[in-house]
């Protein structure tokens, strides 16, 4: 019982619905057509039989043999032979000639010649009227055509009655109706097959999904698109916007654009979008910065490909300010982690030294070693914190000093001026990217060098900050000098080549310049960028 209830509640499949619907439509169409055709054809068959009988009766009425016989009362056998011949040729039930008294002059049954015409429907023809009637005579039910016979002076001298068996007429109607039914049945079978094939084709086009599954999938897709934090915008192959989620609308409204761009051309709504290039080339774009009326966003664009054909493109994006805030948080955490890891490793090494000196009871040397560590640590921290007032940048450089010692590289920081103004959040983020990647790149370059030294020089001149990172590595070959800033290029293996690419992007964002000097004795990166402090940002706001 439960299984039956489940089957009743379960939605019917698309194939079943289309097949049943197609069959019902075809059945109703053929039924109505059958009724109309049957009615029309039946009338036409009866009309044809009546017309046929009337033509035969008129022909016989105009016959010279019939007229001469009625005028002169000639040989009955001659009229009988004539009417029988006509009857046989035209396949009539009977052809009867009668005089003005209604007495038969011919008949299929010779014994009835000379007797009154039977049926009671011959009276009007003896009064000069031509007509069709149905009646029962000596030969059975028949459809009759009556035609009066006139002499040369238009005086009626008799009449002709031609009959067609109603059984033959009904047989013709039955045969016609049978043909219609056979055609209808064949049409129903073709309709069922067509509906079934159509259902299969539609289901294949819908990837085998049923309507209720498509509805559920559409609801899930819509909910998912509207719930994601990233903005989502889709266009078709004609660059018409077809979809925009809530997050995208919020960003557009924040930038001062129209609220609902669906149906608009992307070029009319957002003139500097490169999504058109994605559709033309079929190549994706990742982490592309775009300005929308002064608001910066980071966008990813992907072509939509169906059956190896580009049918549109989709773009996801976020406000770059939010990304920068998240990056600042992650960078700070990463800096702290790297600093703690390096200092922990360095501290453990020093503890081993101290433990060894204690075991050897070399207390004087131990005192000197500890004093040296304290003085060096204080000098290093004091040098950085006193000259660099930005806490994020200062902490980052201290972390790099510890990391360099861990890698057995001598990192020297030379600061010709005092950074008395804390940097803006954006500038601090970009400077950390520039300095961090240049130092990391220099440390990796020294991995095979005997002399491992790096110098970081910082100098503030007005609104410009000069950064110089030099190393004693093997230098950069001529073939690689033009490629080191390309995304993904690296001589150190796969999944590398991102650091210098990001460095160049950060320099460009700070309206800076970059110069590279390299030789077999080492490489120097010289960078000059705009110095933007938090105070300047507040004034600008």
**Tens of pLDDT along the chain (541 residues)?**
444 444 444 566 766 777 777 777 777 777 777 777 666 666 777 778 788 888 989 988 888 888 888 888 766 788 888 888 888 888 888 898 988 888 888 888 888 888 888 877 888 888 889 988 887 766 667 788 999 999 888 899 899 999 887 776 677 667 767 777 777 777 777 777 877 787 777 777 777 777 677 777 777 777 777 767 778 888 888 888 888 888 878 777 777 777 778 888 887 887 777 788 888 888 888 877 777 776 777 788 888 888 788 888 888 887 766 555 555 545 545 555 665 665 666 667 667 767 777 777 777 776 676 766 665 555 566 667 666 767 777 777 777 887 787 788 888 888 766 665 666 667 777 888 888 888 888 888 888 888 888 888 888 887 788 889 999 888 887 777 777 777 766 666 554 557 777 888 888 888 888 888 888 888 899 999 887 665 554 444 4
Dist. CA 61–CA 158, nearest whole Å: 9
Give residue limits of the domains in the chain: 61-169, 218-322, 408-540
* Alpha helix (H) residue ranges in 388-498: 391-406, 425-445, 478-481
Dist. CA 78–CA 70, nearest whole Å: 12
Dist. CA 139–CA 87, nearest whole Å: 14
Contact in structure between 369 and 357 (CB atoms under 8 Å): yes
**How many beta carbons lie within 10 A of that of residue 473, not counting itself?**
24
Order of strands across the sheet that contains 464-471 = 410-415, 453-461, 464-471, 522-530, 513-519
Contact in structure between 407 and 450 (CB atoms under 8 Å): no
Q: Where are the beta strands (DSSP E) in 247-392?
A: 285-292, 295-306, 309-319
Fold (CATH) for 61-169: Beta-Lactamase (3.30.450)
Q: Tell me what pLDDT residue 336 has.
A: 52
Q: Domain 218-322 classified CATH 3.40.50.970?
A: no
Instruction: Tokens for 210, please give them.
Output: 């049923």
Dist. CA 324–CA 422, nearest whole Å: 17
Q: Do domains 61-169 and 218-322 have the same CATH topology?
A: yes
CATH class in words for 408-540? alpha beta
Order of strands across the sheet that contains 140-150 = 94-98, 156-165, 140-150, 131-137
Dist. CA 331–CA 89, nearest whole Å: 112
């Amino acid at each position: 019982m439960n299984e039956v209830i489940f089957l009743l509640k379960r939605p019917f499949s698309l194939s079943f619905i289309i097949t049943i619907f197609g069959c019902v439509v075809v059945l109703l169409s053929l039924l109505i057509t059958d009724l109309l055709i049957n009615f029309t054809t039946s009338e036409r068959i009866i009309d044809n039989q009546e017309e046929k009988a009337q033509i035969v009766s008129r022909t016989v009425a105009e016959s010279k043999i019939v007229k001469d016989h009625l005028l002169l009362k000639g040989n009955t056998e001659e009229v009988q032979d004539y009417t029988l011949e006509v009857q046989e040729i035209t396949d009539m039930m009977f052809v009867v000639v009668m005089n003005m008294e209604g007495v038969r002059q011919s008949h299929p049954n010779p014994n009835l010649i000379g007797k009154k015409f039977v049926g009671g429907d011959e009276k009007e023809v003896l009064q000069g009227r031509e007509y069709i009637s149905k009646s029962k005579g000596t030969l059975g039910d028949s459809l009759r055509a009556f035609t009066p016979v006139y002499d040369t002076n238009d005086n009626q001298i008799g009449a002709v009655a031609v009959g067609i068996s109603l059984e033959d007429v009904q047989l013709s109607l039955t045969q016609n109706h049978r043909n219609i039914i056979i055609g209808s049945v064949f049409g129903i079978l073709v309709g069922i097959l067509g509906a079934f094939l159509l259902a299969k084709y539609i289901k294949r086009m819908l990837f085998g999904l049923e309507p209720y599954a498509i509805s559920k999938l559409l609801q899930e897709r819509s909910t998912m698109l509207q719930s994601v934090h990233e903005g989502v915008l889709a266009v078709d192959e004609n660059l018409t916007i077809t979809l925009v989620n809530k997050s995208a609308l919020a960003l557009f409204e924040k930038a001062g654009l129209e609220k609902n761009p669906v149906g608009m051309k992307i070029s009319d709504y957002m003139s500097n979008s490169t999504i058109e290039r994605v559709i033309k080339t079929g190549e994706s774009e990742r982490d592309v910065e775009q300005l929308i009326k002064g608001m910066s966003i980071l966008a990813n664009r992907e072509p939509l490909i169906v059956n190896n054909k580009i049918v549109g493109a989709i773009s996801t994006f976020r406000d770059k300010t939010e990304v920068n805030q998240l990056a600042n948080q992650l960078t700070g955490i990463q800096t702290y982690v790297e600093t703690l890891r390096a200092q922990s490793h360095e501290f453990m090494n020093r503890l081993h030294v101290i433990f060894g000196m204690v075991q050897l009871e070399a207390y004087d040397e131990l005192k000197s070693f500890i004093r040296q560590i304290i003085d060096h640590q204080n000098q290093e921290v004091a040098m950085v914190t006193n000259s660099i007032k930005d806490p994020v940048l200062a902490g980052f450089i201290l972390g790099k000093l510890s990391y360099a010692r861990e890698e057995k590289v001598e990192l020297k920081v030379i600061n010709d001026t005092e950074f008395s103004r804390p940097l803006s959040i954006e500038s601090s983020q970009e400077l950390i990217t520039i300095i961090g990647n240049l130092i990391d790149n220099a440390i990796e370059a020294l991995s095979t060098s005997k002399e491992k030294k790096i110098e970081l020089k910082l100098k503030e001149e007005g609104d410009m900050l000069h950064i110089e990172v030099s190393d004693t590595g093997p230098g950069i070959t001529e073939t690689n000098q033009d490629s080191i800033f390309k995304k993904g290029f690296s001589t150190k293996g796969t999944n590398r080549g991102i650091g210098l690419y990001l460095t160049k992007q950060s320099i460009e964002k700070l309206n800076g310049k970059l110069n590279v000097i390299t030789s077999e004795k080492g490489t120097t990166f010289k960078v000059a960028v705009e110095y933007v402090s938090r105070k300047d940002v507040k004034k600008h706001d």
